[in-house]
Amino acid sequence: MASILYYAILSGVLIGLYYSLMALGLNLVFGVTRIVNLSHGDFIMLSAYTSFWLFFYFHLSPLVGLVIVIPLFFLVGILTYFALVKKLLKSKDPEMTSFIVFFGLSFSIESAAAITFGNSYRSLPLNFLPISHINVFGYSMPFVNVFVAILAVIVILFTYVYLNRTKIGLKTRAIMSNKETAISFGINPGVIFAVSLGIGIAITAIAGVFSPYFFGAIYPSEGGIITIIAFSIIIIGSLGNPLATVIGGIVYGLIINVTGIYIPGWSYAITFIVLVTIILVRPNGILGGKIREV
């Protein structure tokens, strides 16, 4: 049966595009600010809940919900900059401090969510799309996978245009390649950091709205594992290079999908073992330069 392999590969690539979208915002934030956002997955969870409550109370479909979720989480990003990042960038070792601060933030968000929303699993309906399933190589594939993959490509292209064709994108890239030089040329890093966090978290929130279709359900403690997956993806691509995220996402999508079809019980264990191995063997990512020391 070769067609199941073809199906697994095609669907792995499509899911991989979703995973790229999920990790893209994280890589943008890291690339620009060098802040390690260990509560990334919790922003996904919060945006999924926002979309769920919008549906639950106002019967808004996730697509309409996006119109509210995107600006809302852009503001959350800006707020995160002023509340935490600004202060921690001044500390002695900002990268190390950011780990601990965002590790703490992650626990705070998860516990607050569990207290407010309860621990029950929530899900979103699929009927916002005209078709529910399509036939691929004789197997039925949820149409939402195709739809979100297309959306992911659009957001990735938007990020490309933002970084390469706009004035603020040019300044952002200047900060990414050399912060000190960029500052000496009159670029205000605070503004760039705040906007990048806003955009990064808004992109993350888009992925969050569709997360129930890929992670099965919405629940308060889902963030931790999503953060690990997202970080692994951007390390496989290349840490600090937002567009390389696509490679990491597709590699991850293929591993999880192919193992999920052939050895379902071991799919997660194997995926994490492969991720650790890739980070150990090529910590610089598939596209990156050399970073290992001593």
Partner 1 sequence: MKFNKYTKVLIGILVFYLVLYLVGPMVYSNQSFFETLIIFTILTLSFNIVYGFTGYLPFGYAAFFGLGAYGFGIAVMRGFDIETALAMGGALSLLFAVIFIPMLRLKGAYFAIANLAAFEGIYYIFSNQSLDWLTRGPYGISIPSVYNFGETYVASVVILVVITVLTLYIKTSNIGLAFKAIKEDQTTASLSGINVPLYRAMAWMISALFAGFSGGLFAWYLSFFYPESVFSINYSLFVIVFTIFGGAGTLMGPIIGTIVLYSAYDTIGITYPEYFTLIFGIAIILLVLFLPNGLMDLISKYTKKEMV
Name the residues that contact partner 1, by CB under 8 A.
30, 36, 38, 84, 87-88, 91-92, 95-97, 99-101, 103-112, 114-115, 224-225, 227-228, 231-232, 235, 239, 265-266, 268-269, 272-273, 275-276, 279-280, 283, 291-294
Length of the chain: 294
Q: How far is the CB of 36 from partner 1 (least distance, A)?
A: 5
Q: How far is the CB of 139 from partner 1 (least distance, A)?
A: 25
Q: Which is nearer to partner 1, 247 or 275 (CB)?
A: 275
Q: Which is nearer to partner 1, 97 or 145 (CB)?
A: 97
Q: How far is the CB of 100 from partner 1 (least distance, A)?
A: 5
Q: Which is nearer to partner 1, 50 or 227 (CB)?
A: 227
Q: Which is nearer to partner 1, 149 or 278 (CB)?
A: 278
Q: How far is the CB of 77 from partner 1 (least distance, A)?
A: 17
Q: How far is the CB of 1 from partner 1 (least distance, A)?
A: 23
CA distances from 248 to 41, 107, 187, 285 (A): 17, 26, 31, 8
Q: Which is nearer to partner 1, 109 or 194 (CB)?
A: 109
Q: Which is nearer to partner 1, 97 or 245 (CB)?
A: 97
Q: How far is the CB of 59 from partner 1 (least distance, A)?
A: 30
